[in-house]
Amino acid sequence: MTESKEKPEIGHVDSTIHYNIKGNELIDIIEHRNNEKYQRLGGIHGLCELLNVDEKKGIALNSITKRVQQFGNNLLPPAERQKCSSNIDTEPPDYYEGIAILVAVFAVSLIGAWNDYSKQSKFIEIASKETDCSVKIIRDGVPMESTSSQLVVGDIVYLSVGDVLPADGIYLKGNGVRIDESEMTGESASVKKSEDNFVCLSGCTVTDGNGTMLKGYVNKDKQRPTPLQERLDELAENIGKMGMFCAAVVFIVLTLWWFYKAITFTGYVQPDDHCKLCSPTETNNCVAAKFNWWRITDLVDYFIIAVTIVVVAVPEGLPLAVTVSLAYSMKQMMADNNLVRHLKACETMSNATCICCDKTGTLTENRMSVTNIWIGNEVMEVDQTNKIPITGELLHHLSVNIGINTSLSSNITSSNQAIGNETDCALLLFLKKIAMSPSLIRSTNTISRQWVFNSENKRMDTVSDNCIYSKGAPEIIIGESMYYLNQNGEEAEFYEDQKDQINQIIDQWENKGKRVIALSYKKMEEKEFQEWNNTQSNEKINIKNTCLLAIVGISDPVRLEVPHAIDSCKNAGISVRMVTGDHVKTALAIAKECGIVGECQIIDKNYNCSGNVDIAMMGKDFSLLSDEDVDRILPRLKILARCSPQDKQRLVERLLISGEVVAVTGDGTNDVPAFKEADVALAMGLRGTDVAKQAADIVILDDNFNSIVKAVIWGRCVYDNIRKFIQFQVTVNIVALALCVIGSICQMGSPLNSMQMLWVNLIMDTLAALALGTEKPTTDLLKRKPFKRTDSLLSKQMLIKIAIQVTYQLGILLTILFFGSTFKFISAPCGYISTIEDYPGKEYICNDNKKHTIIDVQEDTITLQTIIFNTFVFCQIFNEVNSRRVNGETDVFKGIFTNYIFIGIELLQIIVQTSIVIFSGATFGVKPYPGISLTQWGVCILLGLVSLPLGLLNGFFKEKLTNKTISVFDIEEVEMKNNKKSDNDKWEDEKINCTEENNDFDKAFETNSDEISLTMN
């Protein structure tokens, strides 16, 4: 088949022409369901010919560039970023403080807009990676994995249950393919695909069957949903109310002071010069002075101060801190194989107390291989060298069963690389080992009907030439077998004693952690087959008296890093439970090797167990227990095997009711109900279906349990970073508000003016969010228990640290405010003497017992204000270092030099503050150039520096009690149900004696590095 060189018809919209079909024609066929055009072009076979697609081999690899040139790639336009300037509020502020206020407000708005733009860019980047899902295709006859963005028009895409269609396309062929199109059409029932109903729409989900589709054209006019950006403002609102109250108090008090002075004003001036003061006791020529009512404009200044207090008090930096920390962590977590889809998951994962985990691929390597086989009533071991003596009818039926009774998307490349379901691939590799080609088997045997594997039926069945081939759980397949195929290829009667012997073999394999699969078949005559086939539903097969072909043992080694990761979870107060579809003995063997259980007992529905050991249970027995019985065994239930999706969902529900914060792993469509129940849903990125990934909060890209532990570490890091910011901001807020309120009441003026408070607001919001929100995780994060749902945000240790800092900072600032003029080293003897009624020329006796003019009083007052402002800012700069620790740690410098953002922001704050005090003068209401003296600088820095060692006092008050925290993510409180006490003393005693997780946090996760290695072992 050669590339067409004919020119297309007039009006062709595609810029570069290689194929005799337009992109718009494909859009018309798929989106407008134009069946007439579809048939006119020759149906699916005609389209394949026009697009030069081999229906069996797919497209040629050397045609990809031409397809991209003519039709484009499979990428939709990314969400449009808003311009940075559009994030700035265009409404001008009230023009009362002049150019300085305008510049300050513009600067704050510009920084906020830049932050919004930066956040939006990061979320768009992350969203683009999230939507670029993995797909299975065939090109040049070679099955391969690709990504949705690399698909081109004409690609043949494999469809399996749970897949979300990566593009619009046309159904090619398959077995019972049904697609849920409810999101596009509103129809709740799944639609069966056929030659007549051929349209496959992007974003729809495959609910049944398997097959292939021809990838169509991308309509570039489609819109992506906007990036998810969680907003958190409840805490900000509560703190803001306090700020508004303080602002109202300041404005009212200053206004009352102004009117009081205006009403009680008494002053005398000389009759010939009203600007010269005089005293009536000295001369009778004095006349009463009039109050300057033009000074009513002072009330405008008071109003500006009140508004600025509100601006400072409202912690708009809290959502920024959360978003910065999440955006930073999400990007870092990508390198750690964690794709965070929902922001809330980071914080929730930090407080997870229980992880319900799959076995295959998560705890194990998902590198399956057949190691043992029972066939022809003989047991053989399989290795990489020996040849398996299988011939005749045994070889025929075994090869056909494995070849066609596996998913179409599962394939083995020429280099023996597995693509698709690992269990199927292990069987296909075994098929190649016995010198049979899977592709040849599939091409020479026609599939007339198929029931795909699901976790409820635990089997897969395929019909070919009136013969039903089955594979699945041994207890199911053996239970329906009446015969077995012997070495001579003859069907021999299958006696009970033989079944007992086989079950003993299966037990041996399962006790070694092997997955065991049984294969069987049943041949029917045409009439018998038709009668049987007409009675079968599409959901579940009903078959009896089959012939057992073989039983295979499949080995999947435990990941080397998993035992250490499990141990880290235990030390971090997190319980790990294995929830698997494998047999309970297989699960138990793997669980012991991983370290999930020590001494463990398998129990049934009668829950006969003894002692304080862990419990393993089969799903069928678990489903028969009452909720009360489940709650009794829950603390010790560590393995739930052969479980259905309903069992998994119920386990999660009972764990939630018991007060656990539950994370659940899953990879299939049937895991979605459990995902919806869980606090955090973790989907597997390699083997997980698209439905599972879309329902998940976090996608584990490498399917490795070690990556889940890293998600816990990063979650705790994010949560602690938010608490660090809140601890810092609450301290700044309380000190600033108290200083303004007390100063206004007692000194008739706020010690901090509006410009100074805007700078303070910038420090404690934007800059603090960047500095504290980008702290990296440390090993200490796995040395504490998770926080409970009912805990409060501010722990006792944090409250003690805040109280110490507030007491000290407010104490020294009020001391300077009230008594600063008495300290000789401050050199401001006339500071803070009210001059509201004064005229030029009035003399004052200040704290140095000398006469001073009003000019001296104003200069000294500005000096004290500058010292207060400077000391306050340096207290925050040094306290920001203290805020790096929120759990009672004393080493606040640990890891500080690895956080370059924090160091950079600290230096930036020092440089800007120094420049403001020296050069800004009247703009910021500080002492004009060159500013305060070196001695006064030393006082400010020294007083600010004291904030640093004060943080160590918190170590003396360190509590051993569990810290209490509140979710800042507005997590809805889960109603806790009180477990009723049972009258059964045996169960009550066992409940009391349940073993607890090892909480020896001092020995947890020992490592020589201060920071956790975030790369794969």
Q: Which of the residues are catalytic?
A: 358
The DSSP code for 764 is I
CA distance 783 to 206: 44
Query: Cα–chain-centroid distance for residue 9?
Result: 51
Beta-carbon contacts of 210 under 8 Å, excluding residues fewer than 6 positions away, are: 158, 159, 160, 161, 174, 175, 177, 407, 408, 409, 450, 452
Instruction: Give first-to-last CA distance, the chain, whole Å.
Output: 48
What the block records as the tokens of 587 is 């699960």
Beta-sheet pairing, 169-180 with 199-200: antiparallel
CA distance 901 to 912: 16
What the block records as the tokens of 454 is 């699901």
Beta-sheet pairing, 491-493 with 205-215: unpaired
Query: Which ranges constitute the DSSP H helices of 595-671?
Result: 619-622, 627-633, 645-657
Beta-carbon contacts of 385 under 8 Å, excluding residues fewer than 6 positions away, are: none
Long-range contacts of 331-334 (CB under 8 A, 24+ apart): 331/122, 331/125, 331/126, 332/714, 332/776, 332/1014, 333/710, 333/711, 333/714, 334/126, 334/129, 334/701
Count each helix (H run) and each strand (E run) in the chain, helices first. Answer: 32, 32
Beta-carbon contacts of 39 under 8 Å, excluding residues fewer than 6 positions away, are: none
Q: Show the CA angle centred on residue 638, arms to residues 636 and 644, nearest 5°.
A: 125
- How many residues are there in the chain? 1017
What the block records as the tokens of 962 is 């569990």
Query: Which ranges constitute the DSSP H helices of 820-899?
Result: 854-882
Residue 361: closest CA among 159, 554, 550 = 554
Query: Which ranges constitute the DSSP H helices of 662-752?
Result: 672-677, 690-695, 705-747
476-508 b/e (C-beta count within 10 Å ≥ 16 → b): bbbebbebbbebeeebbebeeeeeeebeebbee
CB 901 within 8 A of CB 968: no
Beta-sheet pairing, 637-641 with 614-618: parallel
Q: In sequence order, what are the beta bridge partners of 486?
A: 376
C-alpha distances out from residue 485 to 131, 377, 379, 394, 504, Å: 48, 8, 14, 7, 19
Residue 51: closest CA among 170, 222, 176 = 170
The DSSP code for 156 is E
CA distance 174 to 405: 13
Residue the block writes with tokens 């006969």: 608
The DSSP code for 558 is B
CB 235 within 8 A of CB 793: yes
Residue the block writes with tokens 């030390």: 571
What the block records as the tokens of 934 is 């070196």
Strands (E), 232-272: 268-270
Query: Cα–chain-centroid distance for residue 683?
Result: 12
Residue 582: closest CA among 353, 363, 355 = 363
Beta-carbon contacts of 1007 under 8 Å, excluding residues fewer than 6 positions away, are: 779, 1013
Q: Which amino acid is at 567?
A: D
CB 519 within 8 A of CB 551: yes
CB 158 within 8 A of CB 212: yes
Q: Which amino acid is at 644?
A: S
